[in-house]
A and B are shown apart, each in its own frame.
Chain A
Amino acid sequence: MVFTATSLEELAEHFAQLPGIGRKTAHRLALYILKMPHEEVSALANALLTVKEKVRYCSLCANITENDPCIICSDPKRDHSLICVVEEPNDVLAIEKTNEYHGLYHVLGGVLSPLDGIGPEELKIKELLHRVSTTHIDEVILALNPNVEGEATTLYLAKLLKPFGMKVTRIARGLPVGADLEFADEATVTRALEGRIVI
């Protein structure tokens, strides 16, 4: 299917580049936008720009935020001696939804994967080491996804963190292999956090 209007085609093309959106859906979305009232479209356009302008990375935990440090890092009621290391901001959301975890986070921005050209330099590992060496941390929980790359990253971090003397744990393999943290249900995430093991 090809639209006769170039601008519509271009919009569909942009949608198609988003994750999880196929060509057909992209066209449907583009047509939907065309039928939306003008003010709604401009609100949407503004929202897109605002996100890009306002949202940045927290200088402590590297999570996405509008205020630096983020609300989690600046919350005095949270346990500041506990850091949970995750891959992506989505994983923070998944764990926050359980309402069971009250420590801080550290968002790596991915996992080690030589195939994708991702080495330690590409991740927020230096920042994590800086954090644990300058603040008092009792425990670091490594909560990466239970796949090959997550495993290797866990092993890599565990080795780097050992010399600092705090407890280093990982979430139990309660998640089925291949299931991403982001998609696991709350009960599973909670169980995995409770069953964490020292490494």
Chain B
Amino acid sequence: MRLVQLAIETFRNHFNTLIDFSETGNIILGNNGEGKTNIIEAISCLCLTKSFFTPSDAIITMFGQPGYTVSGIFKSDCGIEYKATISYTKVNSAKIYSLNRKKIDHLSNVIGLFPVVIVSPEHAHITFGGPQERRKFIDGALSQTHRLYLETLLEYRQILKQRNVLLMNAREKNERIDATIDPWNEAFARTGTLLLVKRKEFVSEFRRYFEEAFAQITESAEKPSIEYQCTLDIGDASAQEEIEVLFKQSIAKHFVNETKMGFSLIGPHRDELLFSINGSNLRMYASQGQHKSFLVALKMAEFSYIREKCKETPILLLDDVLSELDTRRATNLLKAISSAGQFALTSTERDFFAKFPQSSKSWKIIEVKNGSICYAN
């Protein structure tokens, strides 16, 4: 998939910005605060129906404006064109997505249509932050590639909310919930098992892409690893039926404790994806550059994984990725993305790209100043 053209209206500091993208490399240059990240964020809204870091559409609407509109023309790998538009209106907080001028009923139906992989400073949470950030990473990759996973995930979250209300009632009001929680346990185990099976499958397939990407970027002997850690004791069970049985047993085992705590203690919503380099935990021991390399490799692997599963090349959006990487790793990364597909990369370092006279000839340079494009070749 490639984004051919993008139009941004009253979005952050862009009042009315139109960009024609190159179908290969795009370098978005500009000083701090000029509006580079905002362009990446607008593309995120178009591909994923929301910003990749703030959940609030009011915040991304330009100050003093009633709403925003982002539209774009996409071209799939086999050449089919799509015209997509997302508009948001503050007053009724309505968000409307239309594809080829037809309104899409559920925003979640858009996910996966325009596969995209985003790396930005916000994503540093994936390696630095708590387990929820790593779960979000898995969920994101799977949601873009497996429709059923996304649907199950949404169901699971709703079931979890309902189940937690019952557990809280048991804790706070001493309600007897043995019978009423039964169907929720059943649904919890069914959807939770599906998520678990998919996530374990994902990690085992993903590992190969990840190790490859990490080696390519770092060119070092460092040995990275990713490991899925279950709150449920499922041993090495992998068959769905088997895991569902273990899930139910685990629910029974934790029931008394859960009614004491007032929320669900086990399940995929509490699992962890463990990262390490040479056997030491990344979160505790790694350097800034190692974190960044790990993150970039995760994202490049996500790119390959999505391309393989969707049979469509994702769009790569790289916001401020080069900082913290040494010149060799940065160069390796540029090499890797140049052969990957379409990318858009933001940077403040104009001079850095002058070092690549060969490739930079085919790259499109887009310069941003105060929410407008002031130069494009």
Interaction A to B: yes
Q: Spell out A's residues near B (CB within 8 Å).
A: 22, 112-115, 119-120, 147-149, 151-156, 159, 177-178
Cα-based distance from A177 to B179 in the complex (angstroms): 27
CB of B361 within 8 Å of the partner chain: no
Docked-complex contact A114 and B165, CB < 8 angstroms: yes
Asked whether B155 lies within 8 Å of A152 as measured between CB atoms, the reply is no
A112, A114, A154 — most chain B CB neighbours (10 Å): A114
Are B182 and A149 closer than 8 Å at their CB atoms?
no
Identify which of residues 117-158 in chain B touch chain A, using a CB-to-CB cut-off of 8 Å. Answer: 151, 155, 158
- For B151-169 the 0/1 string (1 means CB < 8 A from A) is 1000100110111011001
Say whether B334 faces chain A, with CB atoms less than 8 Å apart: no
Give B contacts to A, CB under 8 Å.
Answer: 92, 106, 151, 155, 158-159, 161-163, 165-166, 169, 179-180, 182-184, 186-187
Closest 3 CB pairs of A and B: A114-B165, A155-B183, A152-B183
In the assembled complex, which residues on chain B have CB atoms less than 8 Å from the CB atom of A178? Answer: 106
Using CB atoms, name the residue of chain B closest to A154: B183
Complex Cα gap A124–B155 (Å): 25
A-B contact pairs, 15 of them (CB 8 A): A112-B180, A112-B183, A114-B169, A114-B184, A115-B165, A119-B180, A120-B180, A148-B158, A148-B162, A149-B162, A151-B183, A151-B187, A152-B183, A155-B183, A156-B180
Contact partner of B182 among A114, A154, A156, CB < 8 A? Answer: A156
B151–A152 contact, CB under 8 A?
Answer: no
User: Which listed residue (A22, A113, A159, A177) contacts B162, Cβ 8 A?
Assistant: A113
B121 CB to nearest A CB, Å:
35
SS of A interface (majority):
helix
- Check B186 against A114 for contact (C-beta < 8 Å): no
Residue of B nearest to A23 (CB): B92
Distance in angstroms between the alpha carbons of A119 and B182 in the assembled complex:
12
Contact partners of A153 in chain B: CB under 8 A: 183
Q: Which residues of B contact A119 (CB under 8 A)?
A: 180
Q: Contact at B162–A152, with CB atoms within 8 Å?
A: yes
Docked-complex contact A114 and B162, CB < 8 angstroms = yes
Identify the closest chain A residue to B92 (Cβ). A22
- Determine whether the beta carbon of B180 is less than 8 Å from that of A155: no
Q: Which residues of A contact B151 (CB under 8 A)?
A: 177
Contacts A114-B163, A149-B158 supplied; 8 other A-B pairs, CB < 8 Å: A119-B180, A148-B155, A149-B162, A152-B186, A155-B183, A156-B180, A156-B183, A177-B151
Cα A159 to Cα B179 with chains together (Å) = 10
Cα-based distance from A113 to B180 in the complex (angstroms) = 10
